[in-house]
Amino acid sequence: MRQYLTKRILSTIPLLLFVTFLAFILINLRTSDPAEIALRVNQITPTEEMVQSMREELGLDEPFLVRYKNWIVNSLQGELGYSYVNKKPVLEELQLAIPPTLQLAGATLAIIVFFSISIGILCSIFENRWQDRLLRGFIFFLSAMPSFWIGLLLMWFFAVYLGLLPTSGMNSPQSIILPAVTLSMTFLSTYVRLIRNNMIQNKHENFILYAKVRGLNERTITWNIFTNSIQSSLTAFGMSIPRLIAGTVIVENIFAWPGIGRLCVKAIFNSDYPVIQAYIVLMAVLFIICNLLVDIVVVMIDPRLRREAK
Amino acid sequence: MSFFRRLQQDKLGIACLMFLGLLTLAGIFAPLLAPHDPTLVNVAVKLATPSLEYPLGTDHLGRCLLSRVLFGIRTTFFYAFLAMGVTILFGVIFGMLAGYSNGKVREAILRFCDAMLSFPSEVMILAIVGILGPGILNIVIANILSKWAWYTRMIYSSVQQYRSKNYVKFAQVNQGSPFYIMRKHIASGIAGEVTTHSTLEMGWVILSISSLSFLGLGVQPPTPEWGMMLNEAKNVLFTNPWQMIPAGTITLLVVIALNFLGDSLQNAMNPQAYMINVKQQKKLLRFGTGRKRLNVNIESEKS
């Protein structure tokens, strides 16, 4: 087990290096001169000398690999550079934006887990009867809707028409409901389908037949099927956490939620590269770490894989 | 039963195919069908509700919504096809190269793909748009770059599968050039799978293009595009909720049709999945010798 863990953790290092290097190259491939942009966003018409001194200030006149090394070392120390627009440290901006996004992602995850499990179980109990079809059709319909459209429809119905919930912003605890529901719609259908199909597959396994023969009641049997079906969904849940956080971009912009998605889109409009770069690296690292954790958890849960890992 | 016969029996699939076909035609003939110029501003009739003159009403600048939806087909379909086509092209080229070459080239391509896939595509798209700047062509490029690795891997594994087939080995023994074998034997084999996947993926591409346009990062005004129309509708949400209905509905219908069509293609492509759909299985099992008959059906399908 320990051997497997070290191997798996070590294997992420080249990946992390590659991803950061890619992000660094991509940022350096852009057509416009960052020194010039840094001047322009502050409404200064750049002259030749000013661009030159700005380049030195931003450390852009050093060789490529040296800059990459400096950047990595600085990033590890938490120095992610300064935003071109308001001159604040990028780290500070991220610290302000990450908690709201995590709240939103957490609330969304709770909605996804609750509804996908309950609907998945219901669908498998009523396998291929009208209840199953109705639920699946409804979920499918919701998942095909563009998320920004669901957001607008929900906002109109609950905030404008019924006046029950706030339209946007993050002023009261209720304001998280609409963005979280909107975000969960995209993911719900995948998990409902996954849990339903797993449950149906497990229904025909021998251990369930045995449980039936033993005369266990329906509820215990369903519970047995469920605990056996949840394993493969667990991987998918873990994988979808970074995807969820990346998916907040649209929802945060509709509902004016002050998270990292909104920060990133604002940065794109302003060509604020340090912020974009920090966002990309943050997301990539998050994705890699989540993958790692999921892999480890899966091995720990499944005895068969644990033996193999030894 | 051939592929087309099976597809023909799938009424839902045919309906979706017809719907998408009609929509494409409507997009091509948009100038003839549209009652008004989609970019013609007429503030006198702004935010009108549906009427005979404006069947779907008008937007905040008095532009005809029906005309904008019709011309929006062109924008959406054109860029989605462009993104999909180039992605598949890259996937086929690199996938075949990896599948047909040995050693270093294959390893290099596959490792690079793995690394690319370690970025979630949503972040990848946002990253590329962030670097290249807003604009529809940049979104198309971002879509291609974030998806080609996945297609390369998929095509690579199909090529591996076909390479071990006897007729490909026979062609190799007969000194067929690798290029000829790839074109003649392998390309025809993987075409089906690629079509199915790209149909399913098309809905995703359309959604990604219109979401980014919704954020203002994609298609720039005044070009009509559904996502952007919804962005404009958002500003008048409080007073004129009708604005968001036409563009939203058409996007939803297209995505649903593409999903259903993709499923139908998959079923038609794969006779076994088609035969063992649960309903049929149950019906056969109910009449005694079902299981045996089912197996016989599958056997005759294979041969």
DSSP state of B50: P
The DSSP call for residue B102 is -
CATH superfamily of B72-291: MetI-like (1.10.3720.10)
Residue with tokens 């839902």: B12
- More confidently predicted of A103 and A298: A103
Give per-residue pLDDT as tens, A190-245. Answer: 888 888 888 888 888 888 888 888 888 888 888 888 887 777 777 777 777 877 88
Write out chain B residues lying below 8 Å of A189, CB-based.
none
Structure tokens at B112: 């690079």
Within 10 A of A91 (CB to CB), how many other CB atoms are there?
16
Q: What residues of B are in contact with residue A147 (Cβ under 8 Å)?
A: 211
Q: Do B244 and A153 touch (CB under 8 A)?
A: yes
**Residues whose CB is less than 8 angstroms from the CB of residue A2 and which lie 6 or more positions away in sequence, other chains included:** none
Give the closest-approach CA distance of B1 to chain A in angstroms. Answer: 27
Which residues in chain A (58-87) have CB-CB distances under 8 A to chain B? none
Contacts of B211 in chain A (CB under 8 A): 146-148, 250
**Measured in Å, how far apart are chain A's first and last C-alpha atoms?**
5
Mean pLDDT for A62-77 is 77
State the pLDDT at residue B8: 73
Alpha-carbon distance of A79 to A149, in angstroms, equals: 38
Q: A92-267 in CATH: which number? A: 1.10.3720.10
Q: Is B254 helix (H, G, I), strand (E, B) or coil?
A: helix
C-alpha distance from B115 to closest chain A C-alpha (Å): 7
- Does B292 or A142 have the greater pLDDT score? A142
How much is the pLDDT for B285? 46
Give domain limits for chain A. Answer: 92-267
Tell whether A260 lies on the interface with B, counting CB pairs under 8 A: no
CA–CA dist A92, A52 (Å, integer):
28
Q: What mean pLDDT is predicted for residues A259-272?
A: 84
Domain boundaries, chain B: 72-291
Please choose, from the candidates A65, A79, A73, A82, the residue with its C-alpha nearest in 3D space to the C-alpha of residue A25: A65
HEC states along chain A?
A: CHHHHHHHHHHHHHHHHHHHHHHHHHHHHCCCCHHHHHHHCCCCCCCHHHHHHHHHHCCCCCCHHHHHHHHHHHHHCCCCCECCCCCCEHHHHHHHHHHHHHHHHHHHHHHHHHHHHHHHHHHHHCCCCHHHHHHHHHHHHHHHCCHHHHHHHHHHHHHHHCCCCCCCCCCCHHHHHHHHHHHHHHHHHHHHHHHHHHHHHHHCCHHHHHHHHCCCCHHHHHHHHHHHHHHHHHHHHHHHHHHHHHHHHHHHHHCCCCCHHHHHHHHHHHCCHHHHHHHHHHHHHHHHHHHHHHHHHHHHHCHHHHHHHC
More confident residue, A104 or B280: A104
Return the pLDDT at B86.
Answer: 93
Q: What is the pLDDT of residues A109-136, one digit of tens each?
A: 899 889 888 888 888 888 778 888 888 8
Q: How far apart are CA A39 and CA A54, in angstroms?
A: 8
A144:B255 CB<8 A: yes
* A292 has a chain B CB within 8 A of its CB: no
From chain B, the residues in CB contact with A247 under 8 A are 122
Chain B residues within an 8 Å CB radius of A260: none
Which value does ipTM take for this structure?
0.76
* Cα B94 to Cα B114: distance, rounded to the nearest angstrom: 13
Distance from CA of A295 to the nearest CA of B (A): 14
Quote the pTM value.
Answer: 0.79
* CA atoms of B162 and B155, how far apart (whole Å): 10
Q: What pLDDT digit, counting tens, does each position of B175-229 carry?
A: 777 777 777 777 777 877 888 888 888 888 888 888 888 888 888 777 888 888 8
Q: Which of residues 123-152 of A touch B (CB under 8 A)?
A: 127-128, 140-141, 144-149, 152
A7 touches chain B (CB under 8 A): no
With contacts defined as CB-CB under 8 Å, which chain A residues touch B259? 140, 144
- Cβ–Cβ pairs < 8 A, chains A and B: 125
Overall average pLDDT of the A81-96 stretch: 78
Residue ranges for chain B with pLDDT beneath 50: 274, 278, 281-282, 284-303
Give A-chain residues touching B227 at CB under 8 angstroms: 146, 148
Q: B143 is written with which tokens?
A: 């879509």
Average pLDDT of chain A is 79
Tell which wins on pLDDT, A173 or A187.
A187
Nearest CA in chain B to A149: B248
